[in-house]
Chain A
Amino acid sequence: DSGVTQTPKHLITATGQRVTLRCSPRSGDLSVYWYQQSLDQGLQFLIQYYNGEERAKGNILERFSAQQFPDLHSELNLSSLELGDSALYFCASSANTWGDTQYFGPGTRLTVL
């Protein structure tokens, strides 16, 4: 158990809908990262937050957004969902902004029908 929690475990929804994925980092970690894992694209970095502020952006679509709250938990919002958004979404946390081990949560499996 990495100490990173993600909810929900599974999510099934329809195209065009909007969903919110939630992540709680390990106790004391200030950075939260979001990653997407799909069969065709592999594991891709989406976005990083550090102590409430956006720190780095990866291959995140404009339909996706995230935020980190004062209690350091984070939410990833996915809107106007398409079939191709079906994937495993992972959250990871680390102590600081870079140079540290990233610990991954168990993931949320999103299925868009």
Chain B
Amino acid sequence: SQQGEEDPQALSIQEGENATMNCSYKTSINNLQWYRQNSGRGLVHLILIRSNEREKHSGRLRVTLDTSKKSSSLLITASRAADTASYFCATEPGGGADGLTFGKGTHLIIQP
């Protein structure tokens, strides 16, 4: 079952603009991870944020986590054409060893 739900499902912006994607989930988590996937290829790990963290940065990426609202956001600043991809949030449950539960993803298109 899909725990994470990304919003919006699709997003089209101009190169240079910022892109924000949101993710909501339902149960308690140990961590939340964001991944990028280019057109049916492998998943590239972007950021892992633990349940006791509120914000993390990596280059042009900023991730926030609000466990009280069970939501996370991914901000990509100064977008580039190469950022065009699908972005997924994935949650690791708080109870122990288990696989990640993925949302349906946000398809981001950067217009040149």
Contacts and interface: CB of A to CB of B under 8 A. Distances in A.
* Main SS class of interface, A: strand
B42 A48 contact: no
A45 B2 contact: no
B104 A106 contact: no
B99 A42 contact: no
Interface residues of A, number: 28
Contact of A103 (B45, B90, B92, B98): B45
B98 A102 contact: no
B48 A101 contact: yes
A99 B30 contact: yes
B82 interface: no
Contacts of A58: 98-99
Contacts of A104: 35, 42-45
A43 interface: yes
Contact of A48 (B45, B98, B104): B98
Interface residues of B, number: 26
B59 interface: no
A50 B97 contact: yes
B25 interface: no
**B43, B97, B99 pick with most chain A CB within 10 angstroms:** B99
Given A42-B2, A43-B88, A99-B30, A56 B45 contact: no
B97 A106 contact: no
Interface of A: 2, 33, 35, 42-48, 50, 55-56, 58, 88, 90, 92, 97-99, 101-107, 109
Given A45-B98, A46-B99, A105-B42, 7 more contacts: A43-B90, A47-B99, A48-B98, A55-B97, A97-B97, A98-B30, A98-B96
